[in-house]
């Protein structure tokens, strides 16, 4: 019994010594998603709803939805981007943490799009970003998105 009790007591004393600012530092170092979505508002609402409710995505900071000034570490891009949106990505990239991840999604309105060629084009267009995953399909489900994000 005595062996079991000892470490618990130590941790309690440690917790008291940790201040509020140190807690925030710890919290910022842990792996939690702080995503930003560019492209389609309806998709972003759906994704936010998925993050909040589903147990598939564990590490997600709910209150980060409200502070737009916090550091983002997951960039989700939807659809073919215009040049203004690309510039916006550049600006967001500067404010983001060093270890950020990016996801690119596109649902083209044409049949018979060659996925490999299109993904090469996307990588050339967004060469300033290190894109981790590219999803180009005619219809993409939310579960697939959750799968990809979990792997990231």
Partner 1 sequence: VKLDYVLANIPEQAEVLIRTDKQAHIRVQDKQFLDFINYIHQHCEYNILLDVSVYDEDDEISFWLLSLRTHEIIGVVTQRNPRIVNISDLSYYFHNIKSLAFQFNEFTQSDFFKGIENYRKPVESFTPRKSVLVTEVDERIQDIIRINNHFNRFGDIDLSVVSKDDITLELDFQINGKKLHVNEKLKHRPIEEILNQVHKIDGFNAPTIVINLCMALEKFNEIEIPDKAQAIRMIFLEFSKILETIEFISSISYSTQASSLYHSCLIWIQNIERVMAFYSGNIFHLGIFTIGGVQRDVPAGWMNFCYNHLKEIQNEIKDEMKNILADSLWKDRLNIGKTAPRDLVEWGIGSSLLRASGINSDLRKRQSYYFYDEVIFNVPIALEGTVYDRLILAFMECDQSFEIIFQVLDNLPTGKIINDEYNLSNRIDRGESDFGIERYFKDGTSFHSIESFANLIHTTVTVKDHKVTNIKINSDSLSKLNYLKELSREVRIRDLALVYRSLNIKSNLLEI
Q: Is 63 an interacting residue with respect to partner 1 (CB under 8 A)?
A: yes
Work out whether 128 is an interface residue with partner 1 (CB under 8 A): no
Please report how close the Cβ of residue 87 comes to partner 1 at its closest, in angstroms: 5
Secondary structure (H, E, C), the chain: CHHHHHHHHHHHHHHHHCCHHHHHHHHHHCCCECEEEECCHHHHHHHHHHHHHCCCCCCECHHHHCCCCCCCCEEEEECCCCHHHHHHHHHHHHHCCCCCEEEEEECCCCCCCCHHHHHHHHHHHCCCCCCCEEEECCCCCHHHHHHHHHHC
The answer to whether residue 135 forms part of the interface with partner 1 (CB under 8 A) is no
Q: Which one of 15, 112, 141, 151 is in contact with partner 1 (CB under 8 A)? A: 141
Binding to partner 1 in span 27-46, by CB under 8 A = 36-46
Q: Is 5 a residue that touches partner 1 (CB under 8 A)? A: no
22/114 with CB nearer partner 1: 114
Residues 38/80, Cβ–Cβ less than 8 Å:
no
Q: Should residue 113 be labelled a site residue for partner 1 when binding is judged by CB under 8 A?
A: no
| Residues near partner 1 (CB under 8 A) | 36-46, 48-50, 52-54, 62-63, 65-66, 68-69, 79-82, 84-85, 87-88, 91, 107, 109-111, 139, 141-142
């Amino acid at each position: 019994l005595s062996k079991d009790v000892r470490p618990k007591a130590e941790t309690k004393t440690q917790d008291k010594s940790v201040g509020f600012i140190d807690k925030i530092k710890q919290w910022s170092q842990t792996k939690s998603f702080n995503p930003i979505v560019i492209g389609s508002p309806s998709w972003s609402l759906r994704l936010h709803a998925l993050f909040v409710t589903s147990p598939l995505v564990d590490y997600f900071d709910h209150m980060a939805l409200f502070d737009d000034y916090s550091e983002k570490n997951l960039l989700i891009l939807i659809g073919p981007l215009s040049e203004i949106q690309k510039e916006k990505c550049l600006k967001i990239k500067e404010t983001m943490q060093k270890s950020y991840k990016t996801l690119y999604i596109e649902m083209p309105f044409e049949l018979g799009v060659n996925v490999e060629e299109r993904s090469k084009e996307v990588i050339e267009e967004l060469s300033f970003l290190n894109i981790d995953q590219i999803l180009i399909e005619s219809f993409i489900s939310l579960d697939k998105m959750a799968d990809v994000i979990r792997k990231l």
